[in-house]
Structure 1
Amino acid sequence: MENITVELVRQCLGNKFESFYYLPARGTRGGILLAWDATVVQLLNPHTTTNTLTAVVKPVDGPEWWITGVYGPQGDREKIEFLQEIVEVRELLAGPCVLVGDFNLLVNLEDKNNAPINRKNMILTLKHEDQIITGQEEIAEVVDDFYDNLFGHAPARAHSLDLDKLDVSSKDLEHLERPFLPQEVERVVKAMQLDKAPGPDGFTGRFYATCWHIIKDDFMHALDMFHRTDMRGLGAINKAIVTLLPKRPGATELKEFRLVSLIHGAIKIFDKVLADRLAEELPTIVGVHQSAFVKMDITKAFDSVQWPFLIETLSKLGFGGRWVNHQDHSDDIATVQSTMRCQIGSFPCKYLGLLLTLREQRASQLHDLVDQMAARLPTWRATSLPKSGCLLLVQSVLCAIPIHAMMALDIPPKTLLAMSKLCRGFLWCGKDKANGGNCAVAWDTVCTPKWAGGLELPNLGWLNCAMQARWPWLQHTDPLRPWSEFQINVPKESMDLFRAAANTTIGNGCTALFWEDRWLQGYRV
């Protein structure tokens, strides 16, 4: 989790644990939580690094000691850096220390256990058009082509049916489109199979059933947005893990494999709620003699059906626009792609060198900015440069690299800290890291003006704040910009900086804020 609240800690650990420190997670891993019962012990002086969270432990009675929580990375290169990170953290601690957490490391090779792997379900060879395919990439290509030909191409519609002549009765099914009710969603969640294989989110039914009282409000808000046809963020969860399971031992051809799709838990719950609603009406829509037809066709005909005919039939039966659009929303994308002759992409993506996402960007997503700065260091011969030369390179090159990103993005504090550490390390040591003993003065002093005793290097935090203040400035001074009419989310510090620095001249009064802008001889009301 990126944000942990007191309520969440109490729900997970109990009411006594209302004091805590945490290191936010990166995606689905990397988070660390240190929580304590204040009647027994106190934790003070928290310190974080990329993979650790450290604090001093002060029992009610007894000597002080240190605790360091860790969450080790997955990659081999990152693991080496992680071990060095632990060494550096330990060097900073005076006294006993306990190291706890998930190291993602093995002490002995025999500790690695691959016994559960079911190798008979692995596709090592595949027969295709009288050829034996062995390479994994070649097998994947054959599988993609096979299912693309099977599901992905619907023939052109040459004929249509006059449904009115067939005497197809229409029902009032508007109640199927009513807003989602907490009771019906909870009923579906509680009825989920607890330990079935998870989808891309990694959560089984047990998670949703056990934590429903925690996620209920957020989940219902998401369903409400979907009901209002607000599809923002849907692409992030509308995904599936697709795998092939052999129908019989020794399967070698694709037709001998069964296609299994593991979808996101949220989508599964949404579909199940709609299915439960529909189940009440099915006996009056589909006759008993048609049930075998439905079961037979749905096993292999999802993407090969004639969608225009299906939409016409659903509308004739009485299904409303929302229900029909839910079935047909993917066709809208295909129409746009065909008309504009463009490719369909997905977020996150890069544009003009910047990563674009649908949500606020995390520090892990902007690590490329730190890597760009770090990549410059090996090209400079720092050992042969005087301190004035290092100072010039930091000021004119390193500190200039993130400016382009700062003009468009609100850089997270963790990323800004990593950038500042690179600048500090190169200035004092000529490398990417510098310990406290290597630094002549504090970095905040280095970033102060020369008249105040500093070296006048940019403070990246304030530089980021100033660059974000450009948005309200441009919005007020250049209303012809295409985005000027939109509500731009600007950090509070940047907005305060803008209002403190800008004077407003009253015109027609449409853009000036009476209480907040300085329009009265340079002052606010």
Structure 2
Amino acid sequence: MLCWNVRGLNSAKRCLAVHEMIASTTCHIACLQETKLQSLDSTLARFLGAYKLNQFTFKPAQGTKGGILILWDDSTLDLQNIQIQRYSITATVTVRYNAASFMLTTIYGPSRRAEKENFLQHLRQIKPTPCTKWVVMGDFNIIYKARDKNNRNLNLRLMRLFRSALNYCELNEIHLQNRKYTWSNERRHPTLVRLDRFFCNEEWDTTFDDHVLHALSSGHSDHCPLLLAHATGPRRPSPFKFENFWVKLPRFQEVVQKAWSQQTPHTEPFHRLGHKLFTTARALRDWSRNLISDARLKLHMAQEVILRFDIAQESRSLSDAEYHLRANLKKRILGWAAIEKARRRQSSRVTYLREGDANTKFFHLKANARRRKNFIQRLKNGPGWAVSHQDKQTIVVDHFSNAMACPHERTRDFNWDALQLQNPDLTSLVDPFSELEILHAIKQLPSDKAPGPDGFTGNFFKSCWHIIKQDVVAAVNSFHSLRCADLNLLNKANIILIPKKEGAESIQDFRPISLIHAVAKIISKLLALRLAPFLNELVAPCQSAFIKGRAIHDNFLYVRNIARRFHRHKIPALLLKLDVSKAFDSVRWDYLLDLLQRRGFPSHWRNWIAAILTSSTSKILLNGIPSEAIQHGRGLRQGDPLSPLLFILAIDPLQRLLSVATDRGLLSKLGGRMMRFRVSMYADDAVIFIRPNRNDVQNLRKILHLFGETTGLTTNFQKTSVTPISCNNINLDDVLADLPMARATFPLKYLGLPLSIRRLKKIDFLPLLEKSLGRISGWHGRHLTQAGRICLTKSVLSSQPVYLLTAIRTTKKTLEDLDRVRKRFLWAGDEALTGGKCKVNWIRTCLPKENGGLGILNLECFARALRLRWLWHEWVSPQKPWVGTETPCDTTDRLLFAACTQITIGNGRRTSFWSSGWIGGCRPRDVAPNLFSISNCKRKTVAEALAGNTWIRDIHSNSHLTTTHLLEFCKLWEQVRNVRLLPDLEDQIHWKFTPSGTYTTASAYKAQFIGCTKAAMSNTIWRTWAPPKCKSFTWLITQNRVWTSDRLATRGWPHSPSCPLCRRVIESAHHLLSECRYTKKIWQLAAEWIGYPQLKPNRWRPSDSALSWWLNISTTAAVPKKAVRSLTMLISWEVWKERNNRVFNQKETPPTRLLEKVKAEATFWARAGAKNLASLIPQV
């Protein structure tokens, strides 16, 4: 399908351009907007369709504005039910070769702002009936994301309305492969916008899942044509991939044991281990194929048989054989469905949900979206394009063969003595590996990440360690002894290509990520775990990546505060954001090994590194198809656990080079005690501050050039940006004449955060909000249970803003907008949020579970808890580069910090006299606020203030002292006069809310709820074994927040006048659980079944609410507490389902039959892990 705003067909040249465009594609249908034609004959239509699209439908233009044309090939497609409307043409499309049909709508949205709301209302009106497959395309002339425009001139209200219309229509955007924008105003400094789009609903997506969308050349138009086509290329191979759910199946361990025990002709450890892995993989594949490969077919067949039995029993009783067959199939369906869902989950790479929190279709849609996003449809090939798989693979292999090839001989080196690097004792790095150390490394590997060429995930090695450990340990010991001749057999990798940016078109736009053989990854992990404790001494403080105790936010705060200091004091400076070309892939091995020797690494360790590097080979996966193997000659593989640590060692000398250059006068000093170093690095993300003079710029360029020649880490000046600070009176064109760098302005993005020298505006936080909204639109909320939405709200929507909230104090409006997104998804999923859907007050929902809430984060409180880390690290980590500069903490944060900490005075040099809580946990400024206000020196330490009682002399003598001042002075004097400092002891700080006395975000968050009422039902619900959906239902019903008749009546909504189960009194949550005659009958039968008469209704304690009934029954005497809570949840859940079945389906189940359902479900729960319930119910 081709979609294009052609900007008029009222000239022969434009018609010819459209003809050529359609002729050059394989499209079967073309939707053209803005034709500017009031009439169209079949001759012109056939010409426009390149004589292959021979049918058309047409919406005339209004004067010279608008106009829509659909052309199609009637030998392939049939269009019926064509509806021509004000802004669109809609038709039903049937594919002739397979009879698949769907609804197609092509749009031309109005350009005038006054009409846009009418257009969005029109879009809502053409939404088809449920289950109709629908695809929408066209020029919408409106955007819904800030990143869809290259400037900040945005209409937030219209963006919000467009997003709302898309949500209402249940449309998801089809990912555009190779472009970020689709329209340009064609000026010298153009405005770029994504106006042209394809959308589809879930039904269309699951039916036509093998498609990709990419943009073609805009040609004569200012809009890009969009082509939606099948993903083309050779058939992907089906290599072995370990499925994580196998470990839960019977006989799995037996199959592995048998395969692993087979004789192997190899004696060398690496060869022997590789052969055993291959044999085991083949055995597991055969076992899996025989056992579960047809799980989906069995599932559908079982569902069909059960349906036949369900229909039959409506008119007759089932025979015993039929009844038992139906019951047996129901049990098997659960297993087959669970297998299919687990397979879909692993292929979707969704790791933040458990299988039970979403249905299979959710994972299927996520897998489709992931496959489309990663599919490479075409690549730039000089002035043209590579479209065939062979041409694309040639480009890819040539590029990476060159990138990984051995570089030319190194002609430069550092004057290592001048760098004066400090080296710790590293002899322990080469100690023998113990079995426990190897097992610890394996446990550190992720269980469900994509596997390497061997196909085994970390889960295999963890679950089968007792079987495979002897051979794994032998291979590791062989490596330790440098018997590595056959290491190349297991040191292989597959390289996948991840787009670095939207609209990736060139091979340089893709980041290579290595999926490494599991054994090589284990060896690398062992070395990484050994090296990590020494990095704090080996690497300068300006580098924060991959070092325990350092954080990415340290870099951001340091850079921001330095930039703000220069701006406030009007100090001219340049902020350079370096782009290191192919950073990981370009490190020279000869330099790296030389560096390791200079830093004191033992020769044995260097030989290990050389063995890993020189034996490595990789195959490039292009759309899942591997290339031939490429031998590495330089670079570090991204995806190898050891690579990040080696990289930060490799780039670390840069900071020493800049420091030496400053000392020798090659770079001007920037001055100020805040300026600890001029470079800040997080891996290869480097920022350098320099003076805006030509000499400094030229010298920096020479330093970076020489550093690149020596290390391989070359600076790409075309992608490096420079941001001037207070340079208004400086000719930057002259200063930067020798550096072809792009110039940027504040705010700019640094380490993924908005960096500004001024206060951030609301629009600067818009990307954060859009990211959350984008997550929701891709989650398909209808396929998630309430428990699944709770899980996603907690694990993703609530955690997404954490990175920003840690370093930046946001506006209250931003937090409210984020809450609105979370609240809507939690209670309404994909739909609009209304009062009826928001079941529980949001403030209560965000309380911790022990206080009666759902445990969803209160973002305002959590942001404050995050910010307290800065105050804590000011105390415990004074060596951090930002200490002594501005932090994002406000007065409330500091008051909370003082309340949460206790300071023990030693020598008094670290403690602020006025602002630290060192007097019985109180701050002197709080003890004597009026006295503090007239003090001349508010920043003195305790040692400075108590030395000769200078804090008294600091009180402004000319101030009008009152009785209040005198009383406060006396009170403060009494508390400080007997303080004795201990010169040899440092001041100590203790966090009150953790046993270790150390700050944690979790404890800081919980501290803000001290004093809130504890909820009695918290432990009885959330610590009970039950499916998450049953727990969330129990929480809702004990809050009296399910839609029973009494609550419907209070809102004036339609409702049943009596309880649907007993038809005696009006329904309420309390009545449904404890007073309903039907429910009591179920409990009577259940109590007899399990043999606990205490649970019979006539022995229940009186209750006046659903909550009191739950607390009473869950604490029934002489009954296993945890077991009865699981049973209570199960019965309540089944009663609620029966209630809904009667209300919405008008079907009734007698109590005895419902008890059978309870028994069957209880058996499943017991087998799934409800051990306490298993001890309660018979015959399990």
Q: What's the TM-score once normalised by structure 1's chain length?
A: 0.41
Q: Which has the larger radius of gyration?
A: 2
Q: What's the TM-score once normalised by structure 2's chain length?
A: 0.19
